Amino acid sequence: MRDVWIVFRKEMREWLYVKENWRASLFQMLVFVGVFGIFWPLQIDNKDSVAVTLTSLSLFIGNSVVADSFAGERERNTLETLLATRLSDQAIFLGKFLADAFYTLGLMMVILATSVVSINLFQPREGIFFYSPLGLTIGIGGSLVLTLFGVGLGVFISLRTKTVRAAQQILSIIYLVFFLIIGFVLPIFLNALPPSAANALAGWLQRTDPLVILIGLLLIMLVCDVGMLAFAIRRFQRSRLIVD
């Protein structure tokens, strides 16, 4: 655990003090908070849907960060130095993974908190606004599972690519396919169901508490995240990276 903390601290220190583009990163963070934490929530009447929209944002927030995790080390010619240390393979991978996840999830929580503050300040109403239990579960739980998914996938792809730009392009294509499946393929599949199956599904959805369904989906996604992370750790081979 100590070695994981060493890699985690190294990543955080580079973001804050070493990386040449820290000003651009800070500006990007402020844009995310300003647009999605202040402007966007004020444009939507159903405030719980804000949490749904913000959840998918976690994939794009972590895109540039995770792409830099190993591909950036290659471009800066520092990967060999890192891999030559006594740190274990698991510590290197998990340290980078946790640092990227901490950044992405932390920024998401800041955006969610800012959205609540901005709604209360600029759209006053009776009582203090806060997301419903369902909206809050979507905002926090959805951000968590999508962050773990995006960061785990991104770090694994960064292992296999030579440049940060290539890693970002691959991730963008994967996310595009992911949203196309959800937005187009899934509705087509549901519409193609036999009437009996569609009615049975609709009846089950009406009888079941939406919060229970959501928690079930989040748990399934969390299991998938853990499986993907375990697979990525097993595929991480220090000697192969040094040769590459």
Distance CA 227, CA 160 (A): 19
> Tell me, what's the pLDDT at 19?
55
pLDDT averaged over 10-residue windows placed end to end, the chain, 244 residues: 84 66 74 87 78 81 78 78 79 87 89 89 77 84 88 83 84 85 82 84 82 86 87 74 53
Q: What confidence score (pLDDT) does residue 153 get?
A: 86
CA distance 157 to 155: 5
**Other Cβ atoms within 10 Å of 72 Cβ, number:** 20
222 contact partners, CB below 8 Å, separation of at least 6: 144, 145, 148
Burial of 107 (0-12, 13-18, 19+ CB in 10 A): buried
Phi, psi of 166 (to 5 degrees): -65, -40
Question: Residue 234 burial (CB < 10 Å; 0-12/13-18/19+)?
Answer: exposed
Angle, helix 89-122 to helix 2-13, in steps of 10 degrees = 50
pLDDT of residue 238: 67
Cα separation, 101 vs 75, in Å, equals 22
Q: Which helix (H) or strand (E) holds 243?
A: helix 238-243
Buried b (16+ CB within 10 A) or exposed e, 75-87: eeeebeebbeeeb
Cα angle for residues 224, 225, 231 (degrees, 5° grid): 90
Question: Helix axis angle, 89-122 relative to 143-160, nearest 10°?
Answer: 140
Ramachandran category for residue 150: left, alpha or beta (phi over 0 → left; psi -120 to 50 → alpha) = alpha
**Contact in structure between 22 and 15 (CB atoms under 8 Å):** yes
How confident is the model at residue 243, as a pLDDT? Answer: 45
Distance between CA 3 and CA 194 in Å, rounded? 55
SS3 state at 232: helix
Q: How many residues does the chain have?
A: 244
